Each structure stands twice: as structure tokens, then as C-alpha cells.
């Protein structure tokens, strides 16, 4: 297997609310919800940098597709990182997320490893780290 990820799927409790958060709040481009004609098919896709895609899919649909029981959600199982080039950009992204309806989990602050980072949760409890790491090129536009 090649060390490559092409799609990240986040299970969500309310697909329309989640799409509004990522599309309207954070500005992620999407054609909207597709697949509503299929049982457990409603999903939204977002194009991210580098060819990566983000999918939002109801948690119940993900459970049905895998055959796993639908369990309680937990923010400590997984996090997504968004690296930027400056501390000011960290603050700007954290503010943008908060205005979009995110909950600040850990305000941005200097880190023990010499960077600057904070965490927020999306409306479904998915954890995002926003970080500036001077030793890690972000390839970000901001």
C-alpha cells in the first residue's frame, strides 16, 4: 500500500448543518449534498489542496455501510491539522472557525515545540488543530 490519503470522511449527525459549517462558514467549495436518491447515500464532497477530498456523511450511514454499531462520538479519537505560515494566520483561522460556529477547545498560544497552535471543534465535535510550526513548511496560502 502506498502512503497516500485521497479522501477523508467525517461522520456527522446533521448533514445539512455540517455542509453549512464547512461551505458557508469556512468557505470550502462543494457542489452540495448528492446521493439523496439512495438509502444511506446522501453525502457532500469538498475539494481540498493537493487533490485531497473531504466527505461529510451521516454517522448512521457510515455505521450501516461498515456493519458497525453506531457508537457515541468522541473528539479525542482523531484530529485534522491545518498548518499556516504565521501566528497571525493561526489567529485569523481560529476566528473564522469561531464565527462559523466552531467551539474553541484550546485558544491559540505558543507551544512547547516552538510553534503556535490552537484547537477548535466543528459542530459534530471533529477536532481541528490550527498551527504555525516554523520547522514545518505549510505550503499554505493563508
Do the domains 7-66 and 75-132 sit in the same CATH topology, yes or no?
Answer: yes
Summarised one tens digit per residue, pLDDT across range 84-138 is 999 999 999 999 999 999 999 999 999 988 999 999 999 999 999 999 998 876 5
| Cβ atoms of residues 9 and 17 within 8 Å | no
**Does the pLDDT at position 77 exceed 90?**
no
Fill in the DSSP letter of residue 102.
P
11 pLDDT higher than 80: yes
What local confidence, expressed as pLDDT, does residue 137 receive?
65
Res 142 pLDDT > 80: no
- Beta-bridge partner residues of 104: 120
The answer to whether the beta carbons of residues 116 and 106 sit under 8 Å apart is no
- Domain ranges for the chain, please list them: 7-66, 75-132
Domain 7-66: give its CATH architecture: Roll (3.10)
Burial class for 108, CB neighbours closer than 10 Å (0-12, 13-18, 19+): buried
- What pLDDT is attached to residue 2? 77
Model confidence at 140: pLDDT above 70: no
pLDDT of residue 73: 87
Mean pLDDT of 59-65: 93
Is residue 20 scored above 60 in pLDDT?
Answer: yes
User: How would residue 5 be classed by pLDDT, with cut points 50, 70 and 90?
Assistant: confident
CATH 3.90.1150.10 fits 75-132, yes or no: no
Q: Please give the angle made by the CA atoms of 10, 5 and 75, to the nearest 5 degrees.
A: 30
Amino acid at each position: 500500500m502506498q502512503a497516500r490519503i485521497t479522501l477523508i470522511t467525517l461522520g456527522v449527525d446533521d448533514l445539512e448543518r455540517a455542509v453549512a459549517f464547512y461551505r458557508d462558514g469556512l468557505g470550502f467549495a462543494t457542489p452540495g449534498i448528492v446521493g439523496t436518491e439512495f438509502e444511506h447515500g446522501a453525502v457532500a464532497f469538498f475539494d481540498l489542496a493537493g487533490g485531497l477530498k473531504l466527505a461529510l456523511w451521516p454517522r448512521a450511514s457510515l455505521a450501516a455501510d461498515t456493519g458497525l454499531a453506531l457508537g457515541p462520538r468522541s473528539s479525542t479519537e482523531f484530529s485534522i491539522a491545518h498548518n499556516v505560515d504565521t501566528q497571525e494566520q493561526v489567529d485569523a483561522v481560529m476566528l473564522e472557525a469561531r464565527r462559523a460556529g466552531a467551539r474553541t477547545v484550546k485558544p491559540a498560544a505558543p507551544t512547547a515545540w516552538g510553534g503556535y497552535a490552537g484547537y477548535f471543534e466543528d459542530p459534530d465535535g471533529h477536532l481541528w488543530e490550527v498551527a504555525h510550526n516554523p520547522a514545518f513548511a505549510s505550503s499554505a496560502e493563508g
